[in-house]
Amino acid sequence: MMKNNSIDKKKIESLLPHREPMLLIDKLTNIVHLKSATAIVNVRKNSFFVQGHFPDQPVMPGVLVLEAMCQAGCFLVLNSVDNPMEKNMFFSSLSDSRFRHPIIPGDQLRLEMILEKFRLGTALLVGKAYVEDKLVAEGKLKATVVDRQVV
């Protein structure tokens, strides 16, 4: 069981197939095997979405907040399966999503991910996103572990 650890972007890249600019999480901490993990996303002034969403009032798109949750959840689950480099996760549904406050460049997003259920290769994850101690977004995510395809 891992706990109070810190995993940097290089280690994240060793398990997840995502790459820049779509690798959104910068660091993972407090990983508890098949239970929970915390991810950090630094929303930068030069983040790829800032220029077009929106030029005069940049806001992190809600769909990217959910994508960051998916990436953190993917790491949490794949980190615990056999042969994780041969696996991937495809997200199939999301529910109960709420976006409570805008996330702007300069914010550090802290994603608290909890694995509620993992059975027969399907995971149900609950994610909450915070800026400092303010809850800014949340959602429930469902995904299935699949064999990784090489194209």
Q: Which residues are catalytic?
A: 53
Check residue 84 and report its DSSP letter.
G
> Judging by beta carbons within 10 Å of its beta carbon (0-12, 13-18, 19+), is residue 30 exposed, middle or buried?
middle
Return the number of other C-beta atoms located less than 10 Å from residue 39's C-beta: 28
CA distances to 47, 50, 126 from 24, rounded to whole Å, are 10, 14, 18
The CA distance from 132 to 105, in Å, is: 14
